[in-house]
Structure 1
Amino acid sequence: MKITGIHPDEYAEATRIWESSVRATHDFVTEADLDVLRPLVAAAFGQLEHLAGLRDDDGRLLGFAGAAAGKLEMLFLAPDARGLGGGTLLLDHARRVFGVTAVDVNEQNPQAVGFYLHHGFTVAGRSERDGTGKPYPLLHLTL
């Protein structure tokens, strides 16, 4: 696996990866939530300060990480790419190259919470609602 850039013509594929990842890991998210979030996520790719893709040896996009102002805004992997070290590669890249020192994570996604805690993040705060106002608590993590 390797880290590369993501071209605008790959944003649709990255959005599909985001959705498949959310379906696999965020069992609290509803279909209505996905319908609202999908266009927001697709639009965010072109607005992020930093964006990196994780690729297999054939160049297929397996996941991505996006960051802005030292905060990890996105890190998602295709379900079949989970558990292979790609998340760690993306996070290490985001920390080293993008200067990431913070991330918000859904409290209801214990796998993600554990991943970030394992990589040295600590809980700095908590919000009862996510960025869209939904009752999905967020943990604010920092290094």
Structure 2
Amino acid sequence: MNNRRVTENDYQKLVEVWERAVKKTHDFLQVNDFQTIKVELPTYFPHLEMNIWLIEERIIGFSGMDGDKLEMLFLEPNDIGKGYGKKIVATLIKKNQLRLIDVNEQNQSARIFYQKMGFEEYARSEIDNAGRPYPILHLQKNCI
């Protein structure tokens, strides 16, 4: 598995990965919110350190960091559960000093995944950053 920085030419591919991943993992998301986020998503990319993750030339997912915080990590649905997420997070911890993650409370599989990776809940918000009614769990890396 390797990675490279995202370019503007990748944006449409990333939105397609996001769409497939969210349909698989975010069954709690209302259709109108899904559509709104899908349109807004590319506007966030230039503000984050975006990486596309590949096996050979095949995209398996992407990540977006803001300093030491993981703002987004999405994998192709067929690549979930194969250890790629663990490798990506481990790489981001080592190379980017990843320390903070927000996760939707309703996304139990992501919550469990990050807890297994050593992240612990330190706060909770009733709404997401856009004011939508999706509680967010704020996680930080356990530094023991």
Query: TM-score by structure 2 length?
Result: 0.93
The answer to whether residue 39 in structure 2 is matched with residue 29 in structure 1 is: no
Shift of 1:83: 1.1
| Equivalent in the alignment of 1:85 | 83
The answer to whether residue 48 in structure 2 is matched with residue 45 in structure 1 is: no
Deviation digits for residues 24-65 of structure 1 (CA, Å, limit 9, x no counterpart): 0010112201111012211111221x22121122x1211011
The answer to whether residue 4 in structure 2 is matched with residue 4 in structure 1 is: yes
Which residue identity is paired with 1:129?
I
| Equivalent in the alignment of 1:55 | 54
> What count of residue pairs does the alignment treat as equivalent?
141
Unaligned runs of 5+ in 1: none
| Equivalent in the alignment of 2:125 | 127
Alignment partner for residue 67 of structure 1, among 65, 68, 73? 65
Identity of aligned residues (%): 35
Shift of 1:95: 1.3
Q: What RMSD over aligned residues (CA atoms) do the two structures have, in Å?
A: 1.1
List, as ranges, runs of 4+ consecutive aligned residues in structure 1 with deviation greater than 4 Å: none
Alignment of 1:92-111 (within 5 A): 92-111=90-109
Unaligned runs of 5+ in 2: none
Shift of 1:7: 2.2
| Contact 1:103–1:142 (8 Å) recurs in 2 | yes
Which residue identity is paired with 1:15?
V
Shift of 1:124: 0.3
| Contact 1:51–1:67 (8 Å) recurs in 2 | yes
Shift of 1:78: 0.8
| Contact 1:62–1:78 (8 Å) recurs in 2 | yes
| Equivalent in the alignment of 1:140 | 138
Which residue identity is paired with 1:85?
G
SS of structure 1 residue aligned to 2:46: coil
Query: TM-score by structure 1 length?
Result: 0.93
| Equivalent in the alignment of 1:19 | 19
Deviation digits for residues 59-110 of structure 1 (CA, Å, limit 9, x no counterpart): 1211011101211000000101111111112111221222210000001000
SS of structure 2 residue aligned to 1:132: coil
Shift of 1:3: 2.3
